[in-house]
Chains A and B, each alone.
Chain A
Amino acid sequence: MWAARVDEGYVFGGLHTSTVETLKGVPMLLETSDVRVRERLLPETCDDPEDEAQWRRHSVPELERLFLSRAQLVRRDLLGMRRLAGADAHVLLIPDGHTSAWLAALNAARLALFVLNDLTAAQMDVDGLTTASPKQQEAILRIHLLAEVQSVLLGDFEIDDSGQSFDEFVRE
């Protein structure tokens, strides 16, 4: 996977089948009704049962609506993925205006993969793969892949600016 800047935002390229599948899983993980994921994304917030009930009544429905609208936005961007001429990989544009939504959605997806695969904090470390089952290893790799996308959007890497629009960039 590579990344570049275009006028509209960040372009991610070299996206092969497994990466595309991982990215397509992001909105699905945000929308899942799995209890473990819901417990992590909408955690118990107040110790006092009355305060917690009030939190559930007032704040949680708004958060749920926000997560769903983010999932829709991410899905729309994913539908715009293109295959470059002569290449067997896809490119994805994440417009600057969508960066915040993508960052949060990617975080949610990573957290969801973590809980759905019963991963531990130790397994997220450098040598965590050694203690993980094959299914967990795949989940860890997906979590790290999504972290790379997050890191680009956070500006953690120096990314070349093409000085072109997305259309010009993909035509080349």
Chain B
Amino acid sequence: MPTVNVRAATKEQTETKTRPETQLAPPWNVIVIDDPVTLMTYVTKVFMQVFGYAQDKATRLMMEVHKTGRSVVWTGAREQAEIYAQKLQAHHLLTSLEVVDA
């Protein structure tokens, strides 16, 4: 019956259209890269100031940057990640942004 066919087609179209809209945007990483000039205590202070991290966490992240060359210091929504990256660059920490792989 034609009526049944129309209903089936409508349902399929609706599903196809709504699926991408409900897909969540991927999170972004804020990455700080080591440089040989910036003082370690300054990096710690900036992490505390920008993210509100406790001294222990800020120091641990700073040491990760220092020892491994980089550290993901925050992960979350793109807009907030950009705000944080801008604040870190305002203090001249070498900062980059990357989309987290699905």
Contacts and interface: CB of A to CB of B under 8 A. Distances in A.
A30 B82 CA distance: 23
A40 B35 CA distance: 10
B41 A154 contact: yes
Contact of A45 (B36, B42, B89): B89
A4 to B, nearest CB: 20
Task: Give the interface SS of chain A, mostly helix, strand, loop or mixed.
Answer: helix
Task: Give the interface SS of chain B, mostly helix, strand, loop or mixed.
Answer: mixed
A45 B97 contact: yes
B9 interface: no
Nearest to A70: B90
Interface residues of B, number: 22
Interface string B63-92: 000000000000000000010011001111
B91 A107 contact: yes
12 contacts: A46-B96, A47-B96, A59-B85, A59-B89, A62-B86, A63-B86, A107-B38, A111-B92, A150-B42, A151-B41, A154-B41, A154-B45
Which 3 pairs between the two chains have the least Cβ-Cβ distance?
A121-B36, A124-B36, A107-B92
